Amino acid sequence: MAFPTSSSHQLSAVRVRRSRIDGFGVFADESVPQGTKLGELTGEAISVAEARRRAEGRQRIMLVEISASRAIDATRSDDPMRFTNHSCAPNARIAVEAGAIEFFALRDLQVGEEITVAYGATHHEGRLACRCGKPGCAGWL
């Protein structure tokens, strides 16, 4: 699935395809310079309590807490960035500012490279094996 830069939320061309890390991933469809905003993630605005309820017992979720009380559920979002996998050596970062969830390249990205971020704290609480395969991998999410 290719996603050109025509969307107001998608700023760099990306492609969603099978990932060696987990399920599907999002891959650069063009060279991207370091610091470039890759895109945004949108979805259903819900309470953090509802987000945590939805996360119970699920391994694959697409939830981001944007404040102490609000979260975004991107499960039904059309944004390709919702397929961004975790890596212990990420090439992108997530920034949450003023309710917007944005992705930025940490270094130059090559065409075909999978875009990854460090998830930080997750609902898995160290119980889900990390599959990034990077040197120094923490082993768990």
Q: Which two tokens stand for residue 118?
A: 């460090």
Q: Residue 9's closest CA among 65, 66, 81?
A: 81
Residue 37 has pLDDT above 50, yes or no: yes
Q: Which residue has the tokens 């599907």?
A: 24
Size (the chain), residues: 141
Q: pLDDT exceeding 90 applies to what percent of the chain?
A: 47
**pLDDT class of 112 with cuts at 50, 70, 90:** very high
Residue 92 near residue 81 (C-beta atoms within 8 A): no
Q: Is the pTM of this model over 0.95?
A: no
Q: Could you read off the pLDDT of 42-90 as tens digits, one per residue?
A: 999 999 899 888 888 666 678 888 888 998 998 888 889 999 999 999 9
Residue-range domains of the chain with CATH? 2-117 (2.170.270.10)
Q: Residue 22's closest CA among 108, 124, 94, 136?
A: 124
User: In sequence order, what are the residues at sequence separation of 6 or more whose Cβ sits closer than 8 angstroms to the Cβ of residue 109?
Assistant: 28, 31, 32, 91, 92, 115
